[in-house]
Every structure is written in C-alpha cells, then in structure tokens.
Copies of this chain bind each other. A is one copy, B any other.
Amino acid sequence: MATMNDVAKLAGVSVSTVSYALTGVRPVTPETRARIHAAMDELGYQPNAIARSLASRRTHIIALLFPGIELGLSGTALEFVTSAAETAREEGYHLMLWPIGDDEVGETRNLIHQQLADGVLVMEVRLDDPRVDLLRESQTPFTLIGRTADAAGLDYADIDFDTTVRDALDHLIGLGHERIAFVSHSKASLDAGYGPTVRAGEAFERHMTERGLPVVARHCDESADAGRAVVSELWHAHPDITALITMNDAATFGAMAQLADDGRQVPRDVSVLSIASSPRVAALSHPRLTTMAAPGTELGRSGVRSLIERIEGSQSATLHELVPCRLDIQATTSPRTKE
C-alpha cells in the first residue's frame, strides 16, 4: 500500500508538503497541489488512519458505551445506533461499540486509558451514574444519552418526558378523557434509577395533579402477561378508567389483549396511547396503536454532533437537548363515549 513517502517522491516534493496539501494547514501553490493529487491518484493513495492518529493525537473515533443488560430503550436502540453511526460518518468520525459488562467503572476506565477514542457517548444513563464521575475526572469529552439527576454542566441529549407526558395528556383530555391510568416500566427499573421510568412517572403525577385529576399509575414488568395482570387489577380498582398511557411495549400488547378478552373495545371503550415507543412496533398492533415515538434518530444525531464540537473545542455552550416524543395518532385513541 502506498505511503505518503511514495506520493512525495512521485510528485517531487517533500512529505511535509504532501501533508500540507492534504490537510490545508499551510498554503500550497495550485501547481504543487495538482502534482501531488495526480501522484495520489496514480498510486491510489489513502492516508493511513492509524499513523495520522498517532501523530495528530486525534483518532476521529467516538466510543458508544452501552451496558450488556438492556432496559427500556431497546426498541429504539437500533435506530439510535444507526443514526449515531451515520452522523459520525458524515462528520468524518467512526463509531466504535463498547459493550460494558459487570465491572462498569473498571472496564470503562481501561477503555478510556487506551486512548482509542476522542470522546464517549454514554447510553442508558442512570440518575446516579458512576461512569459520569469517571469520565469527568479523566478529562475525556463525553455526551450523555439520557441524563443524571444533576446534569448541570454536562452535555446531554434526552427524551423530554415532561413534554411528552403533557402532550399525551393534552391529546387524551382533548378527547374528553379524565380517568387516565399510566402503565410504566418495572419497579426494578425505578429502583435502579432508570431515567425514563423516574421522569415519566414524575411528569404524569405532576400534570395530572395540576389538572385536578386523580393519579393512577402502575409499574409493570416487561412482558405481555404482566401487562394483562395490570389491566385486570386496574379495572378492578378503578372501573371508571377510560384511557391508558403505556410506556412498555410488551406490556402494552398484553394490555390490549386483556382488554379484548374482557370485552372492552379499543378505542370505543378504552383509549390506549403508547409513549416512548416506535412506529415499527405500533404497526404490529391491531388496531394500529396511537403512539408517541421515541426520537432515537434525533438523539443520535445531536449527541454525536455535540460530542464532536466538544472534541474539536468549537463548542460554545453545554448541550442540554430535550426532545419530546412525537405523537402519531392511529386507531387506538378516540373521543370518550358518554355513558
């Protein structure tokens, strides 16, 4: 494979001039540049990424830290990862996957010290996340997908659960619903400090309370059966519920099935609105689910962009981006039917 030396010889210039022609760090006359490019074409030259990295102290690699165990995001995760990878590529960077096992902090530290990545994208951030302290200490540029409890001064891109829940309620209340229940992720995820569970729960409580409506919320394991059980229990305790907000795909489908079994028609008797989900999943439901789709693509894009700006030192302010899920009205929500 041709090296810069070969190009320099063929073009009759020094290596440094070739480098300048390539990077534009210093001016080069058009004629010299032309000769150099001709030589590069003739040799099929491509700069060696590793050598360049070593010399410039920039690898143009972004690491994506994701935990082995996958909680809520997983439905949108692929979308997010794809978008992050594509954005990175557009900006001249590469995305490297760093699956992290049990020893989160230790493994993360090792990886950082290898200096393979210019910056790190952290997925599945919990309210209190030790990886954040580690990254901060190690001076590595990083951006969170999600955010810790106190994220002041940190770059992050996260779902705007508050707005999402508010929009969800606006939609349902606009349709005349008042008895609205919320079916969330598992209690375990709440205890683990999983952001979406915590924040969506808080938002639901606040917005319902502000509107003077009763707060009915349940945690639910990620399975259809759990979804069924919750529905049974819910209607037993609150027979007057007319709408359901869910944030748990498996449970949503279980809930739909149980409602059908109980003779409750969706959306005639009960409206169902699934938040932080995806169109792909919504399309599998019959009737097709009204959802609020998680903005995986947007988060991937702005997370990467911001991280790159931070790496290149061109960043003005810290990124605090909150993107709400977008409402996609399909067939499972409709006006409340008066009895």
| Chain A interface (Cβ < 8 Å from any Cβ of B) | 1, 44, 46-51, 53-54, 59, 61, 68, 70, 74, 77-78, 81-82, 85-86, 89, 94-99, 110, 113-116, 223-224, 249-250, 253-254, 256-257, 260, 280-281, 283-286, 288
Contacts and interface: CB of A to CB of B under 8 A. Distances in A.
B86 A285 contact: no
22 contacts: A49-B116, A50-B50, A50-B115, A50-B116, A61-B96, A74-B78, A78-B81, A94-B96, A94-B97, A94-B98, A94-B116, A96-B97, A223-B283, A224-B283, A224-B286, A224-B288, A250-B283, A253-B286, A256-B286, A257-B286, A260-B286, A281-B284
Contacts of A94: 96-98, 116
Please give the count of copies of this chain that the complex contains. Answer: 2
B95 A96 contact: yes
B68 A86 contact: yes
B96 A250 contact: no
Contacts of A81: 78, 81, 97
B253 A285 contact: yes
Contacts of A224: 283-284, 286, 288
A54 B44 contact: no
Contacts of A286: 224, 253-254, 256-257, 260
A6 to B, nearest CB: 14
Contacts of A116: 49-50, 94
A44 B253 contact: no
Nearest to A288: B224
B284 A249 contact: yes
Contact of A78 (B49, B77, B86, B110): B77
A53 B98 CA distance: 18
A97 B85 contact: yes
Contacts of A49: 114-116
A99 B85 contact: yes
Contacts of A82: 68, 70, 99
Contacts of A89: 98-99
Contacts of A95: 96-97
Contacts of A50: 50, 53-54, 59, 115-116
A105 B47 CA distance: 18
A256 B288 CA distance: 13
Contacts of A77: 78
A1 B96 contact: no
Interface centre among A51, A116, A257, A280 (most CB of B within 10 A): A116
A259 B114 CA distance: 57
